[in-house]
A and B are shown apart, each in its own frame.
Chain A
Amino acid sequence: MIEAVGLTKRYGDKTAVYNLSFQVRPGSVTGFLGPNGSGKSTTMRMILGLDQPTSGQVTIGGFPYRKLPNAPRQVGALLDAKAVHGGRSARSHLLCLAQLSGIPARRVDEVLGVVGLQDVARKRSKGFSLGMGQRLGIAAALLGDPQVLLFDEPVNGLDPEGILWVRNLMKALAAEGRTVFVSSHLMSEMALTADHLIVIGRGQLLSDMSIGDFISANSADFARVRTPETEPQQREKLTAALTEAGGQVLPEQDGALRVMGLPLPRISDLAHSADVRLWELSPHQASLEEAYMRMTQGAVDYRSTVDQRAGLQQPLPPGAQPPVQMPVPGQGQPGWYAPPPPQQGGQPPFGAPGQPGQPTGPYGAPGGPGAPVAAGGAHPNPYAQPVAAPVADLTKPEDAR
């Protein structure tokens, strides 16, 4: 069990982590998400006693890490796969860590086998690929058979076989009743591995809930309904019937309908009584990625802009048409992601002015980039109206503002 209470870390003027409180419970895989520079690694370092919090504290099993008796036997961590002396062999690296806590040398050979590095055990780690380094780091974390495991981006650079192995490893460790705390940017991977999510943005807690709750809270499930394309009046008839029954209906570009607020059997029944045939009736759950994007869009520090390629492009020959710029998902279109949950009216929960229960720390300033233009859930169609105009401004080039 890892418990953080009011954890704050300042580096000079910069606040890396602000008033962070959470619990990581044993028996499940807890994912730790947040944009680049949001304070994930700083938090991990504070958990391991490497960085001293400016205020607040974090404990493992009730002890601050530095006071933990025989820490390597209780906590295993993978922080940085490259944090290995390149001139030392994989086996020597693990051996010196094992000797610290009185772990016998045969355990070193055991974990080398577990991570699949037995054939290169006596090779210098300088020549290791990122994936091999990652395996070595995981081996070091497993060495003491600890009850608490921390992994910072464990699947970075791993091959598909390795990713699958890490996924199963995490689940197996959690199933044995251990505490597993994993940070990653791979949303699809997190969706498969984690049971619980802790999301931070700009050093503050954005969310602490189970993965299912997280997705439902940040983007609504919907049903896609398609009526025969040959009979447009059927579509209008169904729209009227569904709206009357309390559903929210949004047209999609290809003629299908998005229906929110009505269960699938009810939609089918309504269509039947309205005498409308259906070509498609399918359930859609937003992915973790969509839910995550929606939640953190206001807390992203490092955002890419459209590459203008100034001076790199040949002038167009006279009479030629400039190529049509295809919109890149996520750039300049904050409303592109999954539909918002109905009860929140499309607001990303971060930094929204006047919303109760929001942190009001140094980064919680209202009206920051990504703060929604208007509060309230009155948008009939979140796709017609971009939710966050300031974000769109940020992505434009300097001279366009």
Chain B
Amino acid sequence: MTAAQVIRSEWTKIRSVASTVWTLGLAAVVTIALGALISLLLKNQWSDLSEKDRLSFDPTYTSFAGMSLGQLAMIVFGVLVVSNEYSTGMIRTSLAAVPQRGTFLASKLVVAAGLAFVVGVVTSFAAFFLGQAMLGDHSTSIGDPGVLRAVIGGALYMTLIALFSMGVASMLRSPMLSLGILMPFFFLISNILGAVSATKKIGRYLPDQAGSKIMQVVTPIDNDTPYGPWGGLAIMVAWVAAALLGGYVLLKRRDA
């Protein structure tokens, strides 16, 4: 059995369930629409902004403002791709058909991450251009330094979020448990830790805060973050690698 066969099979699996279209569609729509809406609001309230805010204004990052909500749909996508196998019992059929569990997990990750990346690229570029159109005079262009990196970084960020969720789901197996941990983690805990000054130093090493650095072009004033855009992405990659390694080790050891 070749990896190509397993990948083909995983591709059939992923495209034959409705949840794929729903979660990925929602991730794209929410990210693009919310980014455009916030860009429009900022343009209209430009005159109300303080001098400091105007100086550190980042048009690229503003157009990605929908990412914080859109990533939640990406998390659901990643969790469902893996945990569906367990909640339906399909995992036993799958593993009986692919006794090489490493190949099985890797193929699943390749297919799902590839799909997430394609959706991420489309979403990222759409969110950027639509956001810039909304910002009007305050917009930036794709040719400006760091902007293309940020836009492609947005796609990478979405892919890594999906991969992290898949790793967590392969460790926890249950969709409810996985979502119950990931959702509050990304939506609440990360934000709270980042907002409180005492925990800020810890918060910025969390996967989403470190990873979202890649989408910033203008560094905020009085910024003391000890890593740059690529450093932040590397921190996120480390998180993802740890989650996937945990998932792989458990899948290999555990009875299905």
| A→B interface (CB under 8 Å) | 45, 48-52, 65-68, 70-72, 75, 77, 79-80, 82-89, 92-93, 95-102, 140
Contacts and interface: CB of A to CB of B under 8 A. Distances in A.
Contact of A92 (B5, B16, B84, B92): B16
B249 interface: no
B12 A79 contact: no
B9 A71 contact: no
A84 B95 CA distance: 13
A86 B12 contact: no
Contacts of A70: 1
Interface residue SS majority, chain B: helix
A140 B89 CA distance: 14
A99 B12 contact: yes
Contact of B5 (A66, A67, A101): A101
A235 B26 CA distance: 87
Contact of A50 (B1, B13, B85, B95): B95
A48 B93 CA distance: 10
Nearest to A97: B97
A85 B17 contact: yes
Given A80-B89, A99-B8, A101-B1, A50 B98 contact: no
Given A80-B92, A83-B88, A92 B19 contact: no
A258 B134 CA distance: 97
Contact of A82 (B18, B89, B100): B89
Contact of A84 (B1, B5, B19, B90): B90
A68 B99 contact: yes
A77 B256 CA distance: 15
Contacts of A86: 88
Interface string B87-114: 0111111011111100000000000000
When A and B form their complex, which 9 residue pairs have the shortest distance between CB atoms, in order from nearest? A83-B89, A92-B16, A51-B255, A96-B12, A99-B9, A66-B99, A50-B256, A99-B8, A100-B9
B4 to A, nearest CB: 9
B33 interface: no
B15 to A, nearest CB: 8
B17 A100 contact: no
Contacts of B256: 45, 50-51
A135 to B, nearest CB: 15
A79 to B, nearest CB: 6
B255 A88 contact: no
Contacts of A72: 1, 96-97
A88 B16 contact: yes
Contact of B255 (A45, A67, A84): A45
Contact of A96 (B9, B89, B92): B9
A82 B91 CA distance: 12
Nearest to A50: B256
A70 B1 CA distance: 5
Nearest to B98: A100
A277 B98 CA distance: 69
Given A97-B97, A100-B9, A87 B19 contact: yes
B6 interface: yes
B10 interface: yes
A9 B26 CA distance: 45
27 contacts: A49-B95, A49-B99, A50-B92, A51-B255, A52-B255, A65-B99, A71-B1, A71-B99, A79-B93, A80-B92, A83-B91, A85-B13, A85-B84, A85-B85, A85-B88, A85-B90, A87-B17, A93-B16, A95-B12, A97-B93, A98-B9, A99-B5, A99-B8, A99-B9, A100-B5, A101-B97, A102-B1
B177 to A, nearest CB: 19
A66 B100 contact: yes
Contacts of A97: 9, 93, 97
B107 to A, nearest CB: 9
A391 to B, nearest CB: 33
A84 B17 CA distance: 12
Contacts of B13: 85, 88, 92, 96
A45 B96 CA distance: 9
A95 B19 CA distance: 19
A88 B17 contact: yes
Contacts of B95: 49-50
A87 B17 CA distance: 6
A84 B99 contact: no
B96 A49 contact: yes
Contacts of B16: 88-89, 92-93, 95-96
A85 B95 CA distance: 15
Nearest to A98: B9
Given A87-B18, A97-B93, A99-B12, 16 more contacts: A49-B99, A71-B99, A72-B1, A75-B96, A77-B96, A79-B92, A79-B96, A83-B92, A84-B93, A85-B13, A85-B88, A87-B17, A96-B9, A97-B9, A101-B97, A140-B93
A51 to B, nearest CB: 4
A71 B255 contact: no
A39 to B, nearest CB: 14
Given A65-B99, A96-B16, A83 B90 contact: yes
Contacts of A51: 255-256
Contacts of A101: 1, 5, 97
Interface in B175-216: none
A84 B96 contact: no
A68 B97 CA distance: 11
Given A51-B255, A87-B19, A96-B12, A45 B5 contact: no
Contacts of A68: 99
Contacts of B19: 87
Contacts of A140: 93
Nearest to B104: A100
